[in-house]
Structure 1
Amino acid sequence: MKRLGRIGYLMLIYLFLYFPMAILIIFSFNNSQYSLTWKGFTLNWYRTLLADGVLLRVAVNSLLVAVSSATLATAIGTMAAVSLYRYRFFGRQLLYALIYVIIMSPEIVMGISLLILFVAIRLPLGFWTLLLSHTTFCIPFVVVTVLSRLSGFDRAIVEAAKDLGASEFQTFRQIILPLLMPAVLAGWLLSFTLSMDDVIISFFVTGPGFEVLPLRIFSLVRLGVKPEINALCAILFGLTLVFISLSQILQKEKQ
């Protein structure tokens, strides 16, 4: 009975979390533009969505920023994690703490601080400010992901490679990186998802000539929730679910 009670409790929690999203997905196929009553199944809203040239351009912008920032964050975060793990230096624990401070800081604080920085250095708001901002807030997530893999790493393997005459670069490329690859890929997928979903930081650091998908959705919702928005959100939810699932699979493989 206790087991059934726990299962029922978990089911209620997941129902509370995912029921609104399920309603959104269901009504993205509803053959009615204004009513929440079911009028029949249709794919018209998805066709309308794919025929919207402006929306497709904005989607391409988001993909460009997400792929670029995830790649940069993964490269920088992986090198930072390896350095924090392998080397002992003054201020190392402080750097550990700063990584978690960035993760736990409100996005609005980071967005405003980045905006002030870009204005101070007179960098025009647009693609580059968006790329730098997304890379900045994704790096700590990559560092934490890679460090979790390194925590179970056997240092004796590296020492054996050095004894056999391997250089630092050879040791990293042939031994450390292959062992870290599942965590590196998981960090990239997580960074991509965070970048694609971000609204608050993007709102502060993007310019009028460069729009991304989350901000486009936000501006459309202010005029009312249309079926096309339901369809777009359903697609984004599906993509997010796929990337998070892949990230979790890679996390399990690395363990």
Structure 2
Amino acid sequence: MRGWGWQAIRAWTLLVYAFMFLPIAVVVLLSFNANQFGSFPMTGFSLQWFVELSQNDAILRAFRTSLLLGALTAAISTTLGVLASLALVRYRVPGENIISTMLIAPILVPEVVLAVALLLFLNFLSLPKSFPLLLMGHVIFTLPFVLLVVQARLVSIRRDVEEAAMSLGASPMQTFFQITLPLLMPAVLAGALFAFTISFDDITGTLFWKPGGVETVPTQIFAMLRNSISPEINALGTVMILITVGLPLLGLAIARKINQKSGA
């Protein structure tokens, strides 16, 4: 009975993974389909939809917007996350538990609720939608992920290493850049990649916060799906999958190399 039980658990796990990842595999497969209707059976292997994708001005503008928005979100969220982690872990801050809870709260609140709340707040302040406000919304949503990753790494860094550097004449600023930051770098890179990937993929908050005429890749896909299902959507989905999966893998490889060098 135990053997049959484990076999059933394994079979159920495989079914769950198949249910989750088979649609993604189908999208990737159909992006190379020569058939313009993007359906089975495939009539041949073709890259024409990627070529047409690269010639679509609306999609290229959406890509540039998403890349710029993701890069700025990663930079701001990482900077604020590192500074907040240092303050909350290394120093005694009045009301630090309340501050930490407030910073992590966006993770606990459903994104659609957070999006509506921020939109209502902007309307209350009579502020029109703009790219800086869209960036602020993405920073609010991604900052908790950076904070949690950096704090987990910072707790494991021994305080006496920093104190030894300061006892040898290093200033707090020199200690941070020469001791703390190199030891913290894997978490900083991981947090930046988290922030970029989440910002690049976000659609719920972006639909509420984006100004008119500004489209990111997810909102552009959503707009294209409302009109018709084009093979270009499959190609665009494949590109997004490569970016959102490839970046974390690249960051993991870089973090491992940094850990190996610091360990050596």
Whether TM-score is above 0.5 comes out as: yes
Quick check: 187-196 or 27-36, which moved more? 27-36
1:13 aligned to which of 12, 16, 21: 16
1:130-170 CA distance string (max 9 Å, x none):
11111111111111110110121111112212222322211
Paired position in structure 2 for 1:47:
51
Within 5 Å, give how 1:110-149 maps onto structure 2: 110-149=114-153
Whether the 8 Å contact between 1:69 and 1:135 is mirrored in structure 2 is yes
Shift of 1:76: 0.7
CA RMSD in angstroms comes to 2.1
User: What is the aligned partner in structure 2 of residue 69 from structure 1?
Assistant: 73
Which residue pairs with 1:215 in the alignment? 219
2:194 to 190, 195, 212: 190
Aligned to 2:30: 27
Q: Mean Cα displacement is larger for which, 91-100 or 184-193?
A: 91-100
1:231 & 1:93 partners in 2: Cα distance?
46
1:223 shift after superposition: 2.1
The number of residue pairs the alignment matches comes to 255
Between 1:159-168 and 1:81-90, the stretch displaced more is 159-168
**Structure 1 contact 69–134 (Cα < 8 Å) conserved:** yes
Report Cα offsets for 1:102-126 as digits up to 9, x if no partner.
Answer: 1121111111122123223333312
Amino acid at match of 2:239: I
Q: CA deviation at 1:9?
A: 5.0
CA contact (8 A) 1:186 1:246 kept: no
Gaps of 5+ in 2: none
User: What code does the residue aligned with 1:14 have?
Assistant: Y
Q: Distance in 1 between matches of 2:166 and 2:127?
A: 45
Identity across the alignment (%): 37
Structure 2 distance, partners of 1:91, 1:249, is: 38
Aligned in 2, Cα 1:49/1:201: closer, same or farther, shift over 3 Å? same
User: Is residue 247 of structure 2 the alignment partner of residue 243 of structure 1?
Assistant: yes
**CA–CA distance in structure 2, aligned partners of residues 235 and 81 of structure 1:** 34
Q: Name which of 93, 112, 136 aligns with 1:108.
A: 112
Contact 2:74/2:193 (<8 A) preserved: yes
Is the 8 Å Cα contact of residues 73 and 135 (structure 1) preserved in structure 2?
A: yes
Residues 106 and 140 in structure 2, CA contact (< 8 A), matched pair in contact too: no
Q: Which runs of 5+ in 1 are unaligned?
A: none
**By how many angstroms is 1:71 displaced?**
0.6
Give the TM-score normalised by the residue count of structure 2. 0.89
What is the Cα deviation at residue 189 of structure 1?
0.7
User: Is the CA contact (8 Å cut-off) linking 1:189 and 1:246 kept in structure 2?
Assistant: no
**In the superposition, relative to structure 1, how do residues 95 and 246 fare at CA in structure 2: closer, same or farther (>3 Å)?**
farther
1:155 aligns with 2:159: yes
For residues 129 and 8 of structure 1, the distance between their equivalents in structure 2, rounded to whole angstroms, comes to 47
Give, in whole Å, the separation in 2 of the partners of 1:152 and 1:7.
36
The answer (yes or no) to whether the contact 1:49–1:228 under 8 Å persists in 2 is: yes
Q: Distance between the aligned counterparts of 2:255 and 2:99, measured in 1? A: 24
* Contact 1:108–1:201 (Cα < 8 Å) also in 2: yes
Check the 8 A contact 1:183/1:254 in 2, yes or no: no
Q: 2:165 and 2:4 mapped to 1: Cα distance?
A: 53
C-alpha distance after superposition, 1:189-242 (max 9, x if no partner): 111000000001101111113221111111111223211100000110111001
Match of 1:167 among 171, 182, 185: 171
- Answer yes or no: is the 8 Å Cα contact 1:190–1:243 preserved in 2: no
